[in-house]
Amino acid sequence: MNYASSIQTPGLAALPPWRSRLLFVFLLLGLCALIARAGYLQGIHNDFLQQQGEARYGRVINIHAHRGMITDRHGEPLAISTPVESVWASPPDVEATPQQIMQLAQIMGMDAKAVKSRLSDTGRDFVYLKRLLPPEQAAKIMRLEIPGVSLQREYRRYYPDGDVTAHLLGFTDLDDNGQEGLELAFQEELGGKAGSQRVIKDRKGRIVEDVASIRAPKPGSNLALSIDSKMQYLAFREIKLAVEQHRAKSGSIVVLDAHSGEVLALANWPSFNPNNRDKPGLDVLRNRAVTDLFEPGSTMKPFAVAAALNAGKVTPKTVINTEHGKMMVSGKMIHDTHPEAALTVAQVIQKSSNVGTAKIALLLEPETLWSSLGASGFGASTGSEFPGEAGGKLRDYKTWRPIEQATMSYGHGISVSLLQLARAYTIFANDGRLMPVSLLKLDSAVSGQKVYSDTTARQVRDMLELAVQPTGTAPLARINGYRVAGKTGTAHKLEGGRYVDRYVSSFVGLAPASNPRLIVAVMINEPGGKEYYGGLVAAPVFSNVMGAALHLRNVPNDAPLDHEVMPSQAGIVREEV
């Protein structure tokens, strides 16, 4: 007998064999369950592991679509999108020292506390730190090699002409979506559709592999405007100079192709720089030529006369008793700035007689005048598709009193936009046809709506040509080498239901009068200098812009280059309504 084997440890009983076997069975079952689970997850239902893995190293990133370019009618760029970088972070993955955060904030021009606060938001997987950075700044950030901080390619809109085309084009927001102007109107065409892509990133947030393209980005379409860049700059320069020279509140100008209705230039002053991300005030932001309404004054007189001519009530030679410039209608006095005993219908336009125009308008039935003005485009949108375009105000004839019919004939009691007024004058340039307005370049000819007979339109055009003669209201609208036809307007502003001694000075004209190619409409709002008459304030702007524009288009002369001496301002016929 072995002595050592016979000795037992006090207090311990021998374990039954079945317990060790039971423990072995439990361990074996657990191992089998783990093997089965692993096989199930890896071979049959592997989505869970794949999702968990991708959550640690994979990301789905958005791919911004390239916004379409806006060009002028000759292909010159007016709005382009340039690639920039935006800095973003995945807060749970960020590993940055206080010094790195300070350096990161300095490069981005941000407060270090603000950066630290964004990086501390571990409940989010994606936060922007700074949008739209230049490439050199983005490169400095990446040289810091902060894990969890990455770059994303985006696009920033750039406007080469700055404030010259600001009101027309508008601008985009940080996401390159149109917010104002044509950028907003044609957002769907210009914006395209963003894409997305699955990528693998390392622990520092750098993309190391492109896994798959979920959706390819669709770039936006380019947009060719009707605008001529050279004419646009010319119009902008002249309206700015006129507003500053006459200390006016604002000013607008529109240049139309007389035959197609295409807008060749449209500008306002004051303006703003759309490349500056600081949003301008609403007063500067709005496109006054399209969205603002004003009473047009005497620029409406040709339409009242055209209605009477078309209805057979008068002829250009019909003599109108203008009663020495004073006439009572419904207890209200209508007067002329320069009284005359009698004027022919043609002279009524030439001298801009309120009394003569009112008498001609009162020869018509209210419905006839109303229908004629409505057919000329007043009281309705031009169809330009510009956001916020005003349709103007033309009250129903059933509510008119005789005094309202009389004053409407010379532009009081009716409101228009400058674009609407310019469009209406296409009637006199196209033998009675009202042309549609387009801000986009047209590839084919358009046909307008017939409003007046050929004879009526030509008769009115001849009268408008008299208005720019030395004995008319707008000799300063004359252009050396070209015949010009046009009409001045000097309207009191309506405030609180009463007309006050503040004015809207305007001129609308076309040239060459023998075969009109261009129409230019000018409006100066509240000139603050000594002169406020349309013939002195707006007509010279028309002359400068129209003369240069005709030369740009190589339009042949229809008048001798005689360098005729213009009359002095003292000799110009004033008008006021």
Q: Kindly report, residue by residue over 364-378, the tens digit of the pLDDT.
A: 999 999 999 999 999
Q: What is the pLDDT of residues 469-498, one digit of tens each?
A: 998 999 999 999 999 999 999 999 988 878
Task: Give catalytic status of residue 150 as yes or no.
Answer: no
Q: The whole model's pTM is what?
A: 0.83
Return the higher-pLDDT residue of 141 and 169. Answer: 169
CATH superfamily, with its number, for domain 60-110+123-224:
Penicillin-binding protein 2a (Domain 2) (3.90.1310.10)
Handedness of CA 228, 233, 234, 235 (dihedral sign): positive
d(CA 160, CA 165): 9
Query: What is the C-alpha separation between 351 and 361, in angstroms, rounded?
Result: 17
Separation CA 294–CA 577 (nearest Å)? 13
Round the average pLDDT of the chain to a whole number and report it: 88
Q: How far apart are CA 171 and CA 173, in angstroms?
A: 7
Region 502-530 average pLDDT: 95
Q: Do 229-272+284-559 and 60-110+123-224 fall under one CATH topology?
A: no
Homologous superfamily of domain range 229-272+284-559? DD-peptidase/beta-lactamase superfamily (3.40.710.10)
* Of 86, 226, 252, 298, catalytic: 298
CA-nearest of 422, 392, 379, 382 to 293 is 392
Q: 520 near 240, Cβ under 8 Å?
A: no
Tokens of 570: 């003292």
**Domain boundaries along the sequence of the chain:** 60-110+123-224, 229-272+284-559
Q: Give per-residue pLDDT as tens, 34-43.
A: 888 777 767 7
> pLDDT by residue (tens digit) across 409-457?
999 999 999 999 999 999 999 999 999 999 999 999 888 999 999 999 9
What are the DSSP calls for 438-501, one per residue? BSB--SS----EE-S-HHHHHHHHHHHHHHTSTTSS-GGG-BTTB--EEEEEEEEEEETTEEEE
